[in-house]
Every structure is written in structure tokens, then in C-alpha cells.
Amino acid sequence: MSVVKTNVASMFKNNELQDEVLHGHSLSLEGDTATTFYGYKGILKKEDISFDNYEPTHIVISNFADVRENSNIKSKILITLVKGSYLKITKFSESINIILADGRVGYIDPRFIKELGIKDKNLIITNALSYLEVPYRWGGKTPLGVDCSGLVFMAYFLAGFVIYRDAQLKPPIVSIDPLEMQPTDLIFFEGHVAIYIGNSNIIHASAENGLVKIESLKRKDILKIGRYIF
């Protein structure tokens, strides 16, 4: 098992950006093809990957978090991590002593992370809203830019739930009757996915608008409604 050691590793397929794999996220490799723990496949640069064992304990929950050389706020920044990155904590102090996936030791503000394994479905919409006005980026999955499925994946992932990272209805999402739609359900269109937030509104990363927006659900081209069974 391998792991991403840079802040963000771009994953390509047929020379097209497919995904952004975040620091500390595990991969399996078969030849040149990497498969993420959430089932996405593509090609990564070898310099973005560590082949050493890495057992993360925490996840970054702020848009960006600097990892510094020591607890002095003026100390050298080793790396700036994005929301959703994994970290390994070694001890707690005024700042948190962490081990990066490349083996370096640094410090991070404890307000910017939380323990792995905490699940809270009430955070899904809050997480999605935190990306409002973020630019649309094909294959993106960070506060610098997201695509439609990247937004949906991160909203669930930051709440502790792993779903397929694509605009397709796949397990653990199941199809439901549109008349039963409720907040956090996913709305699938042709090549597009959005999150229903209630009151006939959706949040989605729109290529047409070029950013993450809340819009009224007026479209007639809905293919399916999907739900995570918590």
C-alpha cells in the first residue's frame, strides 16, 4: 500500500485530470495505474507517492493548514495541506506534533484538524456550503477548485462517509423515489450530480456558472435521486 506524500497529487487518465488525491490518502498500485481507497483509478507522478507505511490518525478540516517546522508561528512552513488531508499525530502540545507522509515531523494548529472515524451526517450540508463560490475545476477536489462529484464526495467525506467520486449512482448510494427526497440526498443528471439542501434548492459545482452555487431545483432532466443509508 502506498500513500500520497505531497499536498495534492493530480491523477490523470488519457492526459486529462480525473481527480486530486490528498496528502496521506492511501493507494494501491498495479503497474503505472493507481487506485485510491475510494475506488478511483488513474496515473500519478511517482514523486508524489511514498511507499512507506503510513497510519493517519487525523483529518484536516480547515480550507488550508500550514505544517510548520516547530511551534513558533514564524518558523519555516514545511507544507500547506488542504481540507480532507490525512495526518499522523505523535503527541499533543501547544501545537500538535505530526509526522508527514514523507517522514518529516512538524507542527499544526489543533483547531485545523479532527480525529478520523467521527461520523456526523448533520455536517454534510455544512461541508458542502463551505465550498460556496469556490471556482469550478474539472477533476478538482480542493478549496482551490472542485467539480460536481468532487464537491459531493468532499461534503460526505468530511462528515465521515466515503462514497464513489463520480457523477454516477453507485453503492453505497441507493436509488429512491423522487417524492421521498430529503436534504443530503443526491440528484443525478446526465454527467452531473448535486446535493439537495431542502426548500427545493440544490448546491452544486456548475461548469456552466464556473463556481459552486446554490440554485433552485427547476431542471426537468433529473435522471435519479440517490440516498446514503446511514
pLDDT digits (tens, 9 = 90+) for 59-113: 999 999 999 998 889 999 999 999 999 999 987 666 678 999 999 999 999 899 9
Tell me: the pLDDT tens digits for 182-229?
999 999 999 999 999 999 999 999 999 999 999 999 877 899 999 999
Domain extents in the chain = 2-50, 58-115, 121-228
Per annotation, catalytic residue among 23, 25, 58, 192: 192
User: Torsion over CA of 84, 97, 11 and 28, rounded to 10 degrees?
Assistant: -100
Give the largest Cα separation in the chain, rounded: 55
Q: In what order do the strands lie in the sheet with 86-92?
A: 77-82, 64-68, 105-108, 96-99, 86-92, 58-60, 113-115
Q: How close are the terminal C-alpha atoms of the chain, in Å?
A: 29
Per annotation, catalytic residue among 23, 25, 58, 148: 148
Tell me: the pLDDT tens digits for 140-199?
999 999 999 999 999 999 999 999 999 999 999 999 999 999 999 999 999 999 999 999
SS3 state of residue 191: coil
pTM of the model: 0.94
Q: In this structure, which CATH number among 2.30.30.40, 2.30.140.10, 2.70.98.10, 2.170.120.12 belongs to the domain 58-115?
A: 2.30.30.40
8 A C-beta contact, residue 67 and residue 89: no
Query: Which candidate, 77, 67, 74, 21, places its Cα nearest to that of 44?
Result: 21
8 A C-beta contact, residue 193 and residue 214: no
Quote the pLDDT of residue 96.
Answer: 73
148 is catalytic: yes
* 58-115 against 121-228: fold identical: no
Quote the pLDDT of residue 95.
Answer: 64
204 is catalytic: yes
Rounded mean pLDDT of 8-36? 95
Tell me: the pLDDT tens digits for 23-72?
999 999 999 899 999 999 999 999 999 999 999 999 999 999 999 998 88
23 is catalytic: no
For 121-228, give the CATH class: alpha beta
Q: How many helices (DSSP H) and strands (DSSP E) are in the chain?
A: 2, 22
Per annotation, catalytic residue among 23, 25, 58, 204: 204
Quote the pLDDT of residue 93.
Answer: 65
